[in-house]
Every structure is written in C-alpha cells, then in structure tokens.
Structure 1
Amino acid sequence: MLRQQDVGHRIVIRRIVGIREGRPLFSDALGELVELSETHITLATDAGRLSVPVGEVHRAKRVPPARRPTAAAVVALELAADEAWPAPVRGHLGDWLLRSADGWTGRANSALPVGDPDRPLPAALDAVQRWYAERGQPAMVNVPLPLAAPVGAELDARGWGEGRPLVLVQTVALAALPAAPPDRADLPPVELAGTPSEAWLATAHARKGGLPTAARHVLTAVDRVRFAHVYADGRLLAAGRGTVTGGGRWLGVTSIEVLPEARRQGLAARVVRALVDWGTAEGATHAFLQVEQRNTPAVALYRGLGFTTHHTYLTRVAPS
C-alpha cells in the first residue's frame, strides 16, 4: 500500500466498483497522489481530481513517472512563459531570445536558448555575451533541462556559474484542480484587477529588491493579465498575478506572496484559486508556474493543488 512518502508521485489504484455474480468488479485509476489520509486516497488524473475511499481500494502502488515532455512541448511552454513575463528590450539570435529589463529578475534579463541560434553553439554564446556587454549587464542564460543540456555543457566548459537555485517549471490541467474552497467568513475575499495597486507594487518591490521602470512593463505588458489582492483593514495581506498566453492555452501563475503574519491561513491557495477561475473563464486549459526547488513550503502548496514538474531550468551567469 501507499505511504506519506509517496505523495507527489505517480500511482495506480485498483478500486472495487461493484459486485457481479459474487465477484468484485474493478476499475483502475492512474495519476499523481496529492493526499493520503486514513479514509481517502486522492489523486490528480487526466480527467480531474479523484478521491477514493480507502475501503474501496483493492490495490494501490507507486509507478514510474510519466514520460518526459517532448522538446516541442518544452519550447512551447518556455515561449508562453516568456510571453507572460515580457522584457521591454528584446533581441533575437536565430530562434534564441535575448532579454533585458534593467536587471530586474533573472527571467527578464537572460537569454533563452530554445530552437536554432543560426550559428555554431560557441559563436552563439559569444554573441550572447556581446549583446549583454553592450548594455552594461552581466550575460545570463536560462537553460531549460534536459532540453538545453548541450548549452549547459558548453557553459560548464567556459566556467559559467549558477546564478540561482534550480527552478521547477510546474504544470497542471485546470480540470484536475480541486474544487474551490468554501467561503470563510473569517477570511477577506480575493479581489482581481487589471492593474496592480500601489500596495501590490510595494510588495513586489520588497520581494524583488527594487522596482525599476522596466519592472512595470514586465508586470503589465501582457494582453490578458490580472492582479490578485487580499486586503484586511485597508492593508494588503496577500497578492498574486495571473496571465493567459501561449495562444490562450496557458494560465501563468506568478508573484504569489503572503505577508508573514497572514500565513498558514490558506490565503495563498485562495489567491491561486481565484486566478484559476479567471483563467478558466478566459479559456485556458492548463496552468504553469515557476518555483525554486529549495522553496519547500511553496512546492508543498502547489503539489497539494495538483501541480507536477514539467521540466526545470538553471540560470547560468558568465564569469566576471
């Protein structure tokens, strides 16, 4: 049977769904285990979230993870994520993207090496360094793994460092998300707006270490975007941001933040749920987010909502 260590992993359940001529009838379910309690086993399947009473379980076991996404799927998601976090200064190196935003966030100030750079790899990386040097910035490259492993190997040979911890790019089918939690009278509502409030921007300023002019472009220059606010007594307690990109398929969830004194009340999950409801109404079918692997509370939160890791990336920084 399953243990708590299996939460977050792919499992298969054989459940008893009836009796015919004295023999049990079985049905199998495959998905990611999101919750294991004394009474129920809950998993996220392709058809949605399924909660199976323990008394109906004939057999349950962990199985190998699903096959890795195709290269095309990784490229499509990376481009949707870039569209959701648009740097104001952009260039192209063949299919590669070059991005600059006054140094605000690694994603908006790094090259994205997906596709063909239209030249040999060493020459492409030389061109990346020149492009950033012309703008007085350190050269950085976001390396999606395992797709861009050859780029990573070349950067290793050149002595490039890892500027940030490993980032998990996680996804979920919106149909597989749990139902919205019931309204609670003791929690303030989530308000969505087309522009961020000054309090929202102040939270982003504190979290990202400044808010240059380019930051407002990154945050707002998306056709379909919503900013989540949770206020209590006029004070912003929680915030978040949602975008719909990738041809309308992808809801991007970013900038989820809850003030320390308001944590462990379920506000982060409520913010995500409000953004999901908005994205679903906009026609999105899947959601993605990016979270540092070391941020264990956030990883646990998103795992409980059904998010799984699609691929990862490392931000590589040129030597001084």
Structure 2
Amino acid sequence: MISSLSFHAALDRTWPPAEFHVVGPWVLRKGNGGGKRVSAATANFMATVDDIPLAVHTMQKLGQQPLFMIQSKDSMLDSALDKQNYKIVDPVNVYIKRVSELTEVPIPHVTAFTIWEPLAIMVEIWAKGGIGSERLQVMHRAAVKTGILARWNQKPAGSAFVAIHNKIAMVHAVEVLPEQRRQGVAGWIMRRAAVWSKENCAEKMVVLCTQKNIAANTFYQGLGFRKLCSYHYRQSLENK
C-alpha cells in the first residue's frame, strides 16, 4: 500500500497544473480552467486559520476563485474553513490496486489501444463527456503518459488517459460513449491501462471518483480496487 503523501505527489505529476506557487504553508496551483484538481490550494504543513487570508489573496491574484483541497491530515484547517462558510464540494474516493492483478486476463483483439498523441475521435469522445481543451492541456503536461482508445461492436467506444509517477499509474478521464456502456468496455480500458503501466514499470494503479458517482464506485470495487483514502474541496459560496 502506498501512503496518502505518495498518492498526492503522483496526482500532481500525472494531472499537473500549469503552475505551482509555494507561499507560506500553502502549495497553490494555477489550473488555467483545467478543473478543481489543478486549481486547489493544499497545506504543505500545519496551516492555521491565520494563514487562510494569504491563500485566498494569492489565488485571487492568480485569477482564480479560492478553493482548498482537504486531505485526512487537514482536520483543523477543515474546521476553520467550515466556520468561515467554506462548504464541502465534490468528496472524492481514491482507489488502488496492484497493476499485476489487472494484466492476467487477455484483452480481446482490436478492443483497446494505447495511443499518444490523442486521435481526433478520442478528443471527440472526451468532449462528449465534458472533458475539453483545458483538460487536454493538463494531459499534455504529464511526463510519462498515454491515451487509450477502446472499440466495441466495430465502433469507437471510449477514451482514457494514463500517466505514471514514481511507479504509480493513475488513470484519468475515463469516458465511455452512452451507447457503448454496460458492455464491459470500461473494464477493457482499465486492463489495457494496466498492461501499458506494467510495461512502463508501474506497480500500483490508482483511480479517483466522486463519492456521488455510485456507478463508478461500484465499477472500481467490482474490479477489486481497494479504497486508499478520500479528500474533498472547500469552496466559499460567496466566491463561487
């Protein structure tokens, strides 16, 4: 099992922000529209209530609304933000599995391919799932990476993105077309991701999904992923 610290380091390297800014006890991220993961502030040691204005001011200078990622170590910060009317947004479950446990089943021929750079059809599939150009820029910033294109019923079926840091493979942006769902496509995507990850020396695979996405949580649990940790965001309603 990896530590929560190792996971968050891998998250920053496999889904990288455009910029990092270390200010006092904070690591701030400039996301350029790439979503919460690349835009949130995290505390790199015990931040207190007195440190919150520094983070808020710096995020506003970066042109972003104040947003904090709260990890398990951040209970005091979580309480302080709650008292300042920062509400919980998008609680996320983090799941982990050994890469080798996903490479034992042969993948049917012409079912899932690793491709980089993304083909136009992959970009189109992502766009249909709300994954646009800003998140594609996030993908391009990762170092060791690939895309996955799945086919089913002789047609394009899904796309995903995989990147590796420190032997941890993280699978992001899994998107299956509505008409191709409930046919095992996502499972083949994950197995292809595992094969590529093993070829590139990764030992563990990590995936994320919001707690409210019951279907995704059930899917990953069904594949044998175990919960590693969870996190959530705090966002002020006044700044939303």
Does TM, normalized by the shorter one, top 0.5? yes
Q: Please list every run of 5 or more consecutive structure 2 residues that lacks an aligned counterpart in the other structure.
A: none
- The answer as to whether partners of 2:117 and 2:146 remain within 8 angstroms in 1 is yes
Instruction: Output the amino acid matched with 1:228.
Output: I
Q: Does 1:229 align with 2:153?
A: no
Change (3 A) 1:250 1:182: closer
Instruction: Output the amino acid matched with 2:85.
Output: G
Q: Does 1:150 align with 2:54?
A: no
- The answer as to whether partners of 2:171 and 2:207 remain within 8 angstroms in 1 is yes
Change (3 A) 1:211 1:306: same
- The answer as to whether partners of 2:150 and 2:157 remain within 8 angstroms in 1 is yes
Deviation at 1:232, TM superposition (A): 6.0
Change (3 A) 1:124 1:235: farther
Deviation at 1:123, TM superposition (A): 3.4
CA distance in 2, matches of 1:133, 1:95: 17
- Matching residue of 1:49: none
Question: What is the CA deviation profile of residues 45-65 of structure 1, one whole-angstrom value per residue up to 9, with x for unaligned ones?
Answer: x9xxxxxxxxxxxxxxxxxxx
- Aligned partner of residue 137 in structure 2, secondary structure: helix
Instruction: Name the larger-Rg structure.
Output: 1
TM-score scaled by structure 2? 0.90
Q: Does 1:108 align with 2:62?
A: no
1:173 to 85, 98, 118: 98
Cα RMSD (Å) of the superposition?
A: 2.2
Question: What is the CA deviation profile of residues 119-168 of structure 1, one whole-angstrom value per residue up to 9, with x for unaligned ones?
Answer: x5223321111111113321101111x2222221111111101232x110
- The answer as to whether partners of 1:74 and 1:311 remain within 8 angstroms in 2 is yes
Instruction: Output the amino acid matched with 1:258.
Output: V
CA distance in 2, matches of 1:241, 1:201: 11
Question: What is the CA deviation profile of residues 68-95 of structure 1, one whole-angstrom value per residue up to 9, with x for unaligned ones?
Answer: x7xxx21121111111110112211346
TM-score scaled by structure 1? 0.69
CA distance in 1, matches of 2:183, 2:113: 17
Question: What is the CA deviation profile of residues 16-52 of structure 1, one whole-angstrom value per residue up to 9, with x for unaligned ones?
Answer: xxxxxxxxxxxxxxxxxxxxxxxxxxxxxx9xxxxxx
- The answer as to whether partners of 1:87 and 1:217 remain within 8 angstroms in 2 is no
Deviation at 1:234, TM superposition (A): 8.5
Q: Does 1:96 align with 2:96?
A: no
CA distance in 1, matches of 2:162, 2:48: 35
Deviation at 1:210, TM superposition (A): 4.0
Alignment length, in residue pairs? 238
1:271 to 189, 192, 205: 189
Change (3 A) 1:227 1:233: same
Change (3 A) 1:183 1:203: closer
2:207 to 281, 284, 289: 289
- Aligned partner of residue 242 in structure 1, secondary structure: strand
Deviation at 1:268, TM superposition (A): 0.4
- Matching residue of 1:258: 176
- The answer as to whether partners of 1:168 and 1:290 remain within 8 angstroms in 2 is yes
Counterparts in 2 of 1:1-320, with a 5 A limit?
A: 73-94=3-24, 96-113=26-43, 115-116=44-45, 120-144=47-71, 146-164=72-90, 166-177=91-102, 179-181=104-106, 183=108, 188-208=110-130, 210-212=132-134, 215-231=135-151, 236-245=156-165, 247=166, 249-320=167-238
- The answer as to whether partners of 1:143 and 1:316 remain within 8 angstroms in 2 is yes
- The answer as to whether partners of 1:169 and 1:310 remain within 8 angstroms in 2 is yes
- The answer as to whether partners of 2:94 and 2:230 remain within 8 angstroms in 1 is yes
Greater relative contact order (CA < 8 Å, ≥ 6 in sequence): 2
CA distance in 1, matches of 2:151, 2:214: 26
Change (3 A) 1:236 1:94: farther
Question: What is the CA deviation profile of residues 227-259 of structure 1, one whole-angstrom value per residue up to 9, with x for unaligned ones?
Answer: 0012469853111111111x2x20101111111
Deviation at 1:217, TM superposition (A): 2.8
Q: Please list every run of 5 or more consecutive structure 1 residues that lacks an aligned counterpart in the other structure.
A: 1-45, 47-68
- The answer as to whether partners of 1:178 and 1:305 remain within 8 angstroms in 2 is no
Change (3 A) 1:99 1:225: same
Structure that is richer in helix per residue: 2
